Amino acid sequence: MRPTTTPLILATAALLAAGTLSACGGGSGDDPDTVKVSFKQSTDNEIRVMDTYLADIKKQFEKANPGKKVELVPIKAPDSEYYTKLQQMLRSPKTAPDLVYEDTFLINSDITSGYLKPLDPYLEKWRDWDQFIDTAKTAAKAADGKTYGVPDGTDTRGLWFSKAIFEKAGLPADWQPKNWDEVLDAARTIKRKVPGVTPLNVYTGKPAGEAAAMQGFQMLAYGTGKDPLYDPEAKKWVTGSKGFKDSLQFVETVYDEKLGPDVSDALDPNFATRVRGELLPEGKLGIALDGSWLPQDWGKGAGHEWPEWPQKLGLAAMPTQHGQAPGKVSMSGGWTWAIPSKASNPDLAFAFIKTMQTKANAKKWYAANSGIAVRKDVAADPTYVKAQPGIKFFTDLVATTHYRPAYPAYPKISTAIQEAMESVTTGDSSVAEAAKGYDEEVKSATDGEVVER
């Protein structure tokens, strides 16, 4: 690895002093000296991790670049509404900000729609780009080979479990299930021996959105075999998959045997907030199939302070279906910073990205939001590894992780997955019926570009 020898903030200041930053395009009345930054603001008023971080970057940027200003434009909305509001803003130069926060699952859709600007001319001149791991770079690369976003971290997923509930149930403190059956058996044991708690949570249904499709369903599907949703060689989406049906069967079992939350709770769009803010901290949930970011809600000053969580919770990798190699599975996603094609000040926006993405600032962000490093120099830094309990566990999962097939059709595929999950969760459809409905939706969403297995 080649460490950075010159602070990027100073480099940015020199760049500005040379007068190379300019306003390009833009709507009526836009200030060429102000960069507008839009991002997702949590609907929980007590959780403001991003706000705090960006406020600090704003101060750094304005101090390093006299005369330049940063206007933070938060979008307060749950995930599904955020994407809709963001796309509405991107359509017009009058409303498009200069910099936007894009989820990797949606970015290719926005690229295809022409909403985002390719960043390659900037990246070629930015030596820190060499510090980003290759898999993270591909998250914002389109079919045209160009890169449209700079990742600010990734995430992984696993099984969180309550040590107190496991002790009452007689389950091992060092639990590491070897296959799906052992996960379900642990949940059944909790149901039998520890009444009054929810044994296992697997997000499901349309109200949960991408949480259901990704950390619910795909954590199962990618444990059934190679490329369960999209065949990269055929460049077609997969239908008729046994792995898909087996994954739905797991979901059906959880809710049919009442191993999961009540269906009405599971289909509450705010249930994820309850999981991390109530059920886990209050010892009401045995096992949670969830993400590496949960501790951001439990730190000092966060919405649900819980300093005891490292002593109260255990971590286990999600196993593959039958324990087949590599034995465990994870999914990774993350977010990127992108510049809209109708941005007024794209050069200034990229200068702001560079300030955000110094090694020091990136390390601050990973610690603040319980993120997994995408910069090699940060991942190798001992202070990063020791920054938070659990960070090594989740970082080690990157070796066996998978990324969503985030092609333009993916948002529709994701919705079809959520619908299939919801129908078996409620009992409205059998696994076979739900899988058939999914196949039909995929064929429709891709104009028949499918391969059957």
CATH of 157-332+404-452, one of 3.40.50.1100, 3.40.50.300, 3.40.190.10, 3.40.50.620: 3.40.190.10
Task: Quickly state the pLDDT bin for 368 (edges 50, 70, 90).
Answer: confident
**CA 46 to CA 362: how far, in whole Å?**
23
CA dist 219 → 39, 224, 244, 366 (Å):
27, 9, 11, 23
- Count Cα atoms within 13 angstroms, Cβ side, for 9: 16
Is residue 312 packed enough to be buried (19+ CB in 10 Å), middle (13-18) or exposed (0-12)? middle
Task: Quickly state the pLDDT bin for 44 (edges 50, 70, 90).
Answer: low
**CA 125 to CA 350: how far, in whole Å?**
11
CATH 3.40.190.10 domain residues, the chain: 8-151+334-403, 157-332+404-452
Task: Quickly state the pLDDT bin for 47 (edges 50, 70, 90).
Answer: low
**CA 34 to CA 187: how far, in whole Å?**
54
List all residues 6 or more positions away from 423 whose beta carbon is below 8 Å from its beta carbon: 429, 433, 434, 437
List all residues 6 or more positions away from 49 whose beta carbon is below 8 Å from its beta carbon: 42, 296, 302, 368, 369
Mean pLDDT of the chain, nearest integer: 89
Whether residue 359 has pLDDT greater than 90: yes
List all residues 6 or more positions away from 195 whose beta carbon is below 8 Å from its beta carbon: none
User: Rg of the chain over CA atoms, in angstroms?
Assistant: 22
Residue-level pLDDT at 16: 35
Residue-level pLDDT at 351: 98
Cβ pair 149, 338 in contact under 8 A? yes
Dihedral over alpha carbons 76, 112, 157, 82 (to 10 degrees): 10
Whether residue 1 has pLDDT greater than 50: no
Percent of the chain residues past pLDDT 70, beyond the cut: 92
CA dist 387 → 302, 366, 376 (Å):
16, 9, 16
Q: Which of 162, 167, 149 is nearest to 199 (CA)?
A: 162
- Count Cα atoms within 13 angstroms, Cβ side, for 185: 11
pLDDT, tens only, 288-314: 999 999 998 898 877 789 999 999 999
Whether residue 14 has pLDDT greater than 60: no
Token pair of 410, please? 């993916």
Tell me the mean pLDDT in the region 48-63: 93
pLDDT, tens only, 116-159: 999 999 999 999 999 998 878 888 888 788 999 999 988 999 99
CATH of 8-151+334-403, one of 2.30.330.10, 3.20.130.10, 3.40.718.10, 3.40.190.10: 3.40.190.10
Residue-level pLDDT at 27: 42
Is residue 66 packed enough to be buried (19+ CB in 10 Å), middle (13-18) or exposed (0-12)? exposed
Give the chain's count of helices (H) and strands (E).
Answer: 21, 15
Whether residue 6 has pLDDT greater than 60: no
* Cross-strand partners of 335: 103
Tell me the mean pLDDT in the region 399-419: 89
